[in-house]
Amino acid sequence: MRARTIAALIRHGEYRQQADTPSAHQPYALTSQGKTGVHDEVDSFAGLLDEHALEIAQRVDSSNMLRAWQTAMIYVEKLYKHQMPSKLIDSYDALAERGLGAVANMTIQQIEKVIVEDPRYEEPPQNWKSDSHYCLPFQGAESLIQAGERVAAHLQQQMQKLRAEAGVDTVKLFVGHGAAFRHAAFHLGILQFEQLAQFSMFHARPVLIEYIDDGNWRHIGGDWKLRNAANGLD
C-alpha cells in the first residue's frame, strides 16, 4: 500500500500588524501572545502525529515574512529537536500573501487616495480588499486568486516530490498566510469559491490536506475558521 502524503497548511502566529494596512507584506515579528499561541498549537499537533503514527518531512517550507519564519522555527524547535533548527527551513517568495506591489504597506486611505488622484485608474469597488478577483492597478500587484494560484503551484510541486520519495505516511509543513492558503485550497479543489468568503484560518493551527494520485487533494483534518465579514481577510 502506497504511503500517504499530507500537507499541513499553517498560518503564521499573531504579529504586530499595522492598523488599516491591507498589505500582508509587513516585516514585523510575532507578538508575545502570538509566540505562546504557536507553542500551544505545536503541542496539539505533536499529539496528533503520535496518535496517527505520522512522520514529518525532513524540511519545512515557509514564507519569507518574518512572522512565518518565526512560526516555522517554533514548530521545528519543538518537533525536530535539531541543534540548528533554522537549517531545516526553506523560505520561498511563492508562499507569500497577496502582493499589493507599489502600494504595499500603505494604509487603505493612502491607497484609495492615490487611485483617485491618478486619471488612468477607475475607483476600486467598495470591497476591493476581499474581492478575490480584483487586482490593484499598480506594478507588482496581484489578486487573491492569482496569489492562491502561485501558492497552489508550490504545494503541488513539493508534494509531487514527496509522494515519489515517501516510504511511510508523511506530513510536510508549509507555513504561510491565511488568504493565500485559502485561495490555494480553491485551486486545488479543497474549497468551493463560495466558501472563500466564509472561512479564514486559525493562527498557527494546521489544516491538513492529503495529496492523492493524479493531482487530486482532499481535506482530512484541521478546522477552517468561520470568518466575520467585518474583519476583512483574516
Mean pLDDT of 50-72: 95
The verdict on pTM exceeding 0.85 is: yes
Nearest alpha-carbon partner for 9 in 164, 162, 216, 152? 152
Mean pLDDT of 197-203: 96
pLDDT averaged over the chain? 93
Q: pLDDT tens across 134-164, in order?
A: 999 999 999 999 999 999 999 999 999 999 9
Q: CB–CB of 87/95 below 8 Å?
A: no
Q: Where are the beta strands (DSSP E) in the chain?
A: 5-11, 55-56, 60-63, 89-92, 170-176, 199-200, 207-211, 217-221, 225-226
Mean pLDDT of 21-39: 93
Q: Is the pLDDT of residue 109 over 80?
A: yes
Q: What are phi and psi of 6, to 5 degrees?
A: -125, 135
User: What contacts 132, CB < 8 A, 6 or more positions away?
Assistant: 143, 144, 145, 183, 193, 196
What distance in Å separates the CA atoms of residue 170 and residue 207, rounded to the nearest whole number? 15
Amino acid at 212: I
User: What contacts 208, CB < 8 A, 6 or more positions away?
Assistant: 6, 7, 8, 9, 171, 219, 220, 221, 222
Nearest alpha-carbon partner for 23 in 138, 122, 174, 117? 138
Q: CB–CB of 53/169 below 8 Å?
A: yes
Domain 5-231 classified CATH 3.40.50.2300? no
The DSSP call for residue 149 is H
